[in-house]
Amino acid sequence: MLANTIKGLVKRLVKPKRAVPDRISREQHGIDRRLVSRHAIKVCETLQQAGFDAYIVGGAVRDLIIGLEPKDFDVATNATPEQIRSLFRRARIIGRRFQLVHVVFGQEIIETSTFRAPASNGQMTDDHGRILRDNVFGSQKQDAERRDLTINALYYDPITETVIDFHEGVPDLKNRVVRMIGDPATRYREDPVRMLRAVRFAVKLNGKIESATQAPIAELADLLGNVPAARVFDEMLKLLTCGQAMECVKQLRTHGLHSGTLPLLDVILEDPEGQAFIELALERTDKRIRVGKSVSPSFLFAALLWPQVRSQWQRLCADGEQRIPALSEAADQVLDAQTEKLAINRRFSSDMRDIWFMQPRFERRLPKAIYRLFEQPRFRAAVDFMQMRAACHEVDSVLAQWWMDLADANDEGRSDMIQALAEEPREEGVATKRRRRPRRKKPADAAALQSSSVS
């Protein structure tokens, strides 16, 4: 009796691999084909007409099933990269770790990959098990096994409008469960970024991470330190622009993953003023995402790191440093600390500095200085940044609103605002007239010479 009970429990916990995938019809999965990129459909049609299998895969299928419009579309096929490239006029092979083909249609790129086999003993890994090169082609079933989460291992044929599901991803999606394919610890060692992805999708689906998938995360979180910083940056950007950034940040801390992404996150969120500023920045980011507006990575990371920059800036000023040099040094210190873990693109770092360095310049509203500021490429972003500072009582809200009105005004309106500013009475002791230079004293010898010549 007890033996039978144990066997039943084992059967429920250890699911056998299915030889035949589920084939889910349009009536069951509910995907609206009108939301599918016509270029992705074209890629599938072309490959199928040439005798190959081809499916839309991954995140696009996941989003289509839950009723979201995907941002981009990927295709998977049994054609090799060279075979794919030969079928399209504008296509190029990219990648080292992954060889992919980018099929270009104007502004849209359809990323097309060949079915791959899962990790094997013969594949190149580092000392921690992370896969360094992954170009072993395989079957569709093998391709599904090597994908990370069940909800991302779905294949949609836009011609027959059928979803192929090898790992019960559709039921997991309906139940909002994030579950790793295979042994979670092994999969995290192969690619530690999968831990970040599990958190992001659980938040995005308003669901939960399955217990076995969650269990190894805290123990293996340090493996993120072995991942190239550029990949961590890309994943962090996805986390922070998924529309639920603050919840993602909280979940990173809950699972002990923050130290491998934003090393200063704990310090920032322990400071009430810093926490208020970051929560406001993430809240506004989420609002932009939800209404379909773009988000600048430069602005986002400038906001996340500002509490640390401001704290360092204030400390340096208190030690006697001049305000502008102190701000420059504070920015250097914070960015250097972040660069070790997070490869912030140099262009983004430059834009972040521009946003930060304009903040003290907003305090001096002189006509020539105003026109010079207005010509700066990051002027509008810096004004928006000042609005957040005003909302957190860092700067005067009236001053912040004046700059916002100036940014929103047309040329004539700006001229009127600056003219009106020039005509405002100045407070006593704040006159802006140029001070007279003191007269240079004549040298003693010259004065004596002049006196003798007169006499």
| Confidence bin at 126 (pLDDT 50/70/90) | low
* Residue 228 confidence (pLDDT): 85
* pLDDT for 441 beyond 70: no
Look up the CATH superfamily of 297-340+347-423: cca-adding enzyme, domain 2 (1.10.3090.10)
Looking at every residue in the chain, the average pLDDT score rounds to: 85
Q: Which are the catalytic amino acids?
A: 72, 74, 148
Which range among 6-20, 70-84, 242-256, 405-419 shows the weakest confidence by mean pLDDT? 6-20
Mean pLDDT of 36-52: 97
| Residues 38-61: b if buried by 16+ CB within 10 A, e if exposed | ebbbbbbebbbeeebbbbbbbbbb
| Confidence bin at 428 (pLDDT 50/70/90) | very low
* pLDDT for 451 beyond 50: no
* Residue 6 confidence (pLDDT): 46
* CATH hierarchy code of domain 189-260: 1.10.110
Decide if 239 contacts 252 (C-beta within 8 A): yes
* pLDDT for 17 beyond 70: no
DSSP per-residue codes, 132-146:
S----B--HHHHHHH
* Residue 122 confidence (pLDDT): 53
User: Nearest-CA neighbor of 73 among 138, 156, 162?
Assistant: 156
pLDDT tens per residue, range 320-357 = 999 999 999 999 998 887 776 667 778 889 999 999 99
| Confidence bin at 152 (pLDDT 50/70/90) | very high
Mean pLDDT of 33-59: 96
* Residue 261 confidence (pLDDT): 64
pLDDT tens per residue, range 128-148 = 555 555 568 899 999 999 899
% of the chain with per-residue pLDDT over 90: 57
Per-domain residue ranges for the chain?
14-175, 189-260, 297-340+347-423
Q: Which long-range contacts (CB under 8 A, 24 or more apart) does 233-240 make?
A: 233/342, 233/343, 233/344, 233/345, 235/193, 235/196, 235/197, 235/200, 235/261, 236/196, 236/261, 236/262, 236/342, 237/297, 237/300, 238/200, 239/196, 239/199, 239/200, 240/282, 240/285, 240/300, 240/304
Calculated CA dihedral for residues 282, 288, 292, 297, nearest 10 degrees: -60
Mean pLDDT of 393-420: 93
Residue 437 and residue 127: Cα distance in Å, rounded?
69
| Confidence bin at 273 (pLDDT 50/70/90) | confident
* Residue 104 confidence (pLDDT): 97
Mean pLDDT of 147-173: 96
Residue 412 and residue 399: Cα distance in Å, rounded?
20
Residue 355 and residue 302: Cα distance in Å, rounded?
7
* pLDDT for 113 beyond 90: yes
Percent helix, strand and coil across the chain, each to the nearest 5: 55, 10, 35
pLDDT tens per residue, range 59-99 = 999 999 998 889 899 999 999 999 999 999 999 999 876 78
pLDDT tens per residue, range 258-268 = 765 665 566 66
Residues listed for the chain? 455
Tell me yes or no: is domain 14-175 CATH 3.30.460.10: yes
* pLDDT for 8 beyond 50: no
pTM of the predicted protein model? 0.76
* Residue 346 confidence (pLDDT): 81
